[in-house]
Amino acid sequence: MKTVRANAARRANAALQSDRLLSFFTIDNDQLIGYGKTTPDRSNVIVAVVNLDPHHVQSGWIELDLEWLGVDKSEPYQMHDLLTGARYLWNGRRNFVLLDPARVPAHVFHVRRHVRSERDFDYFAG
């Protein structure tokens, strides 16, 4: 199942079909690796975080280059995990990740820069 989703993600995302625009991100845990891939026009941006330890849960703080990702540092952005379907709302360049090799050994995130928030809906009074 994981292989099927990974292959589907690769087929559906142009950024995963080339290594031309590849960037590595700092993570404060040596057992994790994080990198991004994008298309030249930044229309398809992917961030992957992988647990390098096949036996233990690993966690850490990843520091993303928001300018490279095309993300406004003052706006939240959504990270849609293409392997699990989970969606996370991230803010700023530094965010927490936790990967369990028995359940989710990696995240392959599609970066969604324009996220609707509660403020976008008519009923929000604020």
**Mean of pLDDT values over 91-120:** 86
Q: How confident is the model at residue 122 (pLDDT cuts 50, 70, 90)?
A: very low
Give the pLDDT of residue 123.
44
The pLDDT of residue 15 is 82
Tell me the H-state helices in the chain: 2-12, 66-69
Domain 2-115 - what CATH class? mainly beta
Q: What is the dihedral of CA 35, 111, 113, 71, to 10 degrees?
A: 0
**2 — pLDDT class (breaks 50, 70, 90):** low
Domain spans in the chain, listed from the N-terminal domain onward: 2-115
Q: Is the pLDDT of residue 90 over 50?
A: yes
Instruction: Give the C-alpha separation, 71 to 5, whole Å.
Output: 26
Query: How does 78-112 read in b/e, with b if 16+ C-beta sit within 10 Å?
Result: bbebbbeeeeeebeebebebebebeebbbbbbbbe
Mean pLDDT of all residues in 67-94: 93
